[in-house]
Structure 1
Amino acid sequence: MSALSIVSPERRIELNPFDVDAWNLLLRESQARPIDQVRSFYEKLVTQFPNAGRYWKAYIDHEVSAY
């Protein structure tokens, strides 16, 4: 296997739950999907980073934009 093989953001988070770059990749993907499909992702995100206002704001903005 090549040293340059691509690792999915999900796998990166499994290996390192504090990989902020991987979480941010998933956040960008989630923002393009309906909240009902990604609510569990946001819950995991704010559970992992409970003091990160940026992630709470993204979650709240997504919830509000659904209505």
Structure 2
Amino acid sequence: MPVNRNALVRYRTIDKCLQNRRRKWTIEQLIEACSLALYEYEGIEKDISLRTIRFDLNAMRSDKLG
């Protein structure tokens, strides 16, 4: 389970982006998509770091999230 709602929003956003196989996503585009999703869901205007997205991707690849 995600530690907080922000992580859950990021995981869902990354998953939704990567399911679209017609488009190749860069890390920068994933950061932008996650920032926009956080603003839409939580009203938080916050830049997400490259490190955060990389950790999210690693967590999603592993069995940590179930």
Same fold, TM-score > 0.5, yes or no: no
Structure 1 length-normalised TM: 0.30
Structure whose alpha-carbon radius of gyration is higher: 1
